[in-house]
Amino acid sequence: MTKKKAKDDKEKELSGNKINEKETKAKSSKKPDKKEKKKTKAEEFEQKYNEVNDKYLRLTAEFDNFRKRNLKEKMELVKSAGQDILINILPVMDNFERAIQSMDTDSKEASVKEGIEIIYNNFKEFLSQRGVKEIEAVGKDFDTDLHEAITKIPAPEEAQKGKVIDVIEKGYELHGKIIRFAKVVVGD
């Protein structure tokens, strides 16, 4: 019995050791699992926080750009709000100029000429207050960004080659934007 008892005791001890080893492994493996889980959760939260923060910053920047672009578009719209009306008034200005030129030859009625000049000056002032400026052309170099060549004629002088000799129809710009090109005669 003693041998059998000793053998049983050894088996119990060995099995107890195995159980203890399993328990310690389980205990030791459980503790790092909890720590690892906490670390992974913390990393996941940090990653999500960074993603959300990045999205927030991008959205804020995008909204700021949208607001600036919208404000700029409104300013452009205000600048050129009456562009169509102003463009349609330009032929009236041309007719006034022609009337004044034709009255220079006929001096029958000076008071009518004076009245037309007053109306013409009022129109001209109205347009300049709205930002419409006349494009200077006579004697300037021909520029396709400002002028539209109607015809070319031989230049009376060598210095007038490639320059505007005469203006058929005046050109105008509105706040730096061309609304009507000057129709000109260019020296060749």
Q: Is residue 169 pLDDT above 80, yes or no?
A: yes
pLDDT digits (tens, 9 = 90+) for 34-75: 777 778 888 999 999 999 999 999 999 999 999 999 999 888
The winner for highest mean pLDDT among 4-8, 10-14, 99-103, 130-134 is: 130-134
pLDDT digits (tens, 9 = 90+) for 3-45: 666 666 666 665 555 555 555 555 554 555 777 777 888 899 9
DSSP 51-88: HHHHHHHHHHHHHHHHHHHHHHHHHHHHHTTTHHHHHH
More confident residue, 6 or 150: 150
Using a pLDDT cut of 70, give the percent of the chain over it: 80
- Decide: residue 40, CB within 10 A, 0-12 exposed, 13-18 middle, 19+ buried: exposed
Can you tell me the mean pLDDT for 159-184? 88
Domain 132-188 has CATH 2.30.22.10: yes
Alpha carbon distance 52, 156 (integer Å): 74
Tell me the pLDDT band of 2, cut-offs 50, 70 and 90.
Answer: low
The winner for highest mean pLDDT among 71-85, 101-115, 154-168 is: 154-168
- Write down the residue that tokens 């007719």 correspond to: 95
Can you tell me the mean pLDDT for 140-148? 87
Q: Is residue 106 pLDDT above 90, yes or no?
A: no
Tell me the pLDDT band of 90, cut-offs 50, 70 and 90.
Answer: confident
- Write down the residue that tokens 């009518």 correspond to: 112
Q: What is the pLDDT of residue 22?
A: 53
Judge whether 136 and 172 are in contact, CB under 8 Å: no
Q: What is the pLDDT of residue 105?
A: 61
Cα angle value 89/94/97 (rounded, 5°) = 130
